[in-house]
C-alpha cells in the first residue's frame, strides 16, 4: 500500500465492506503486550521467558503458518487467480521476474552473500514500514516533506535494528556497537520528527496512528537492545501481515460476495467455504505443505530425474522469489487506477 493511495472514501453501491482504520489501529495492541511480557519476564520471571524463546519467531512452524509466507502466498493468489489483473500487470511482472533472476540469480555469483542479505533486509524493512506508515497517512494527512521524513527515519532505524538482530553472529563487537549506535540515533530522530508532525494533525485518530507507527519502531528497538529478538520481530510482523490480510479479505469479499468471479471462489462456493476464509485457509495450508514437504519433494525429483540434489529450492528459491515479487507488486496494486483498488474503501 503506497502512501499516496490511501484516502478515506464513502461506500459506493458496489462496495459492501470497508477497511476500518480503527480495526487497523487495534492491531498495534501487540506493542504493549510484548513490552509487558518483557518487563514481567525481567522483574518477575528471572528471564525464564528469554531463555526459552528462540531468536526468531520463524523457528516455530506454527508462526510460519500464521505469519510471513501466508500473506505472501495470499497476495500471489489474489493476483494470479484473476486473469484481468494478470493481463493488466503482465509487462511489470515479466520485467521484475527477469530483474530478480539477473540480480539474485546470476548476480549472486559475483555479489557477496552479506551484500545480498543487506539489500534484501533493506527492501523487507522498507516494504513493511511503508505499508504501515502509508496506511496511516490516510488519517494523519501530513505534508509530503514531513511524511517522507517520518518514513525514512523509520526505515533507517528499522534496517539497523534488523541487521543488529539477524547479523549478530557474523559481526564483531565493534561493528555490533556501531549498528546499535546507528539504530539509536535514528530512533531519536524519529521521535523528534514525530513530536513535530503531530502539530500538523487535527484529529485524535490521526495522532494515535502516528504514534502507533513510531512506537512500532521504538518498541522493536527497545526489545532488540534487551535481546528479546523474538518479541522485537513479532510486533511488526503481526501488524504488517494482519493489515495485509484485512486488505486482501476485504477486496475478495467485495469482488466475490454476490457472484464468484474466478475459478478459486467458484470452487470455494461449491465446497460451501465462506468468502472470508478462502485466502487465509488456502494460504496457510499451502505454507504448511511448502515448508514441511516442499524442499524434500524437489530434492527427490531432481535426484531421481537428473541425479542432482537441489537444497532449499522451495524455501529459498520459490518463496524467496514470491517474497520479492510481493514487495514489488504491493507498491502499486492498491493505487488509484489499479483494477484492485475499485474493491477497497475506507472508514474511520
Rounded Cα gap, residues 281 and 153, in angstroms: 36
Q: Which residue has the cell 540515533?
A: 185
User: Measured in whole angstroms, how far is the alpha carbon of residue 87 from the centre of its chain?
Assistant: 25
The answer to whether 85 and 264 are in contact (CB under 8 A) is no
Nearest to 241 by CA among 118, 110, 105, 131: 131
The answer to whether 174 and 186 are in contact (CB under 8 A) is no
User: Measured in whole angstroms, how far is the alpha carbon of residue 295 from the centre of its chain?
Assistant: 23
**Per-residue model confidence (pLDDT) at position 117:** 82
**Per-residue model confidence (pLDDT) at position 318:** 83
pTM exceeds 0.75 for this model: yes
- Can you give the pLDDT of all 348 residues of the chain as single tens digits? 444 344 444 444 456 888 999 999 999 999 999 999 999 999 999 999 998 887 766 666 777 777 788 999 999 999 999 999 999 999 999 999 999 888 887 777 788 878 888 888 899 999 999 999 999 888 888 899 999 999 999 999 999 999 999 888 888 889 999 999 999 999 999 999 999 999 999 899 999 999 999 999 999 999 999 999 999 999 999 999 999 999 999 999 999 988 888 999 999 999 999 998 999 999 999 988 888 887 777 776 766 666 666 666 677 788 888 999 999 999 889 888 889 988 988 888
Retrieve residue 23's grid coordinates.
480495526
**Per-residue model confidence (pLDDT) at position 311:** 67
**Per-residue model confidence (pLDDT) at position 9:** 42
The crossing angle, in degrees rounded to 10, of helices 30-43 and 204-225 is 40
The crossing angle, in degrees rounded to 10, of helices 319-329 and 113-140 is 40
Amino acid at each position: 500500500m503506497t502512501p499516496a493511495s490511501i484516502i478515506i472514501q464513502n461506500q459506493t453501491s458496489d462496495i459492501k465492506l470497508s477497511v476500518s482504520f480503527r480495526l487497523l489501529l487495534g492491531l498495534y495492541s501487540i506493542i504493549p503486550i510484548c513490552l509487558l511480557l518483557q518487563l514481567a519476564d525481567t522483574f518477575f520471571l528471572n528471564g525464564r521467558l528469554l531463555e526459552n524463546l528462540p531468536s526468531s519467531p520463524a523457528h516455530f512452524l506454527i508462526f510460519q503458518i500464521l505469519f510471513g509466507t501466508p500473506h505472501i502466498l495470499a497476495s500471489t493468489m489474489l493476483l494470479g487467480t484473476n486473469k484481468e489483473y494478470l493481463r493488466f500487470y503482465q509487462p511489470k511482472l515479466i520485467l521484475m521476474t527477469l530483474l530478480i533472476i539477473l540480480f539474485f540469480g546470476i548476480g549472486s555469483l559475483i555479489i557477496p552473500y552479506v551484500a545480498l542479505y543487506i539489500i534484501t533486509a533493506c527492501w523487507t524493512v522498507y516494504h513493511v514500514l511503508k505499508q504501515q506508515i502509508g496506511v496511516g497517512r490516510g488519517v494523519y494527512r501530513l505534508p509530503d516533506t514531513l511524511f517522507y521524513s517520518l518514513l525514512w527515519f523509520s526505515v533507517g532505524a528499522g534496517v539497523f535494528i534488523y541487521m543488529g538482530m539477524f547479523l549478530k553472529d557474523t559481526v564483531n563487537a565493534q561493528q555490533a556497537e556501531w549498528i546499535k549506535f546507528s539504530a539509536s540515533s535514528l530512533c531519536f530522530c524519529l521521535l523528534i520528527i514525530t513530536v513535530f508532525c503531530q502539530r500538523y494533525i487535527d484529529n485524535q485518530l490521526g495522532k494515535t496512528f502516528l504514534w502507533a507507527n513510531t512506537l512500532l519502531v521504538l518498541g522493536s528497538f527497545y526489545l532488540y537492545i534487551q535481546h528479546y529478538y523474538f518479541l522485537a520481530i513479532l510486533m511488526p510482523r503481526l501488524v504488517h501481515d494482519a493489515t495485509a490480510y484485512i486488505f486482501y479479505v476485504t477486496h475478495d469479499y467485495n469482488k466475490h460476495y454476490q457472484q464468484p468471479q474466478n475459478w478459486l471462489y467458484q470452487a470455494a462456493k461449491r465446497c460451501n467455504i465462506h468468502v472470508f476464509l478462502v485466502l487465509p485457509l488456502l494460504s496457510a495450508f499451502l505454507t504448511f505443505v511448502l515448508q514441511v514437504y516442499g524442499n524434500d519433494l524437489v530434492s527427490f525429483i531432481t535426484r531421481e530425474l537428473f541425479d542432482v540434489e537441489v537444497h532449499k529450492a522451495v524455501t529459498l528459491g520459490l518463496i524467496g522469489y514470491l517474497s520479492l515479487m510481493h514487495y514489488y507488486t504491493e507498491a502499486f496494486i492498491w493505487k488509484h487506477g489499479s483494477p484492485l483498488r475499485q474493491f477497497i474503501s475506507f472508514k474511520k
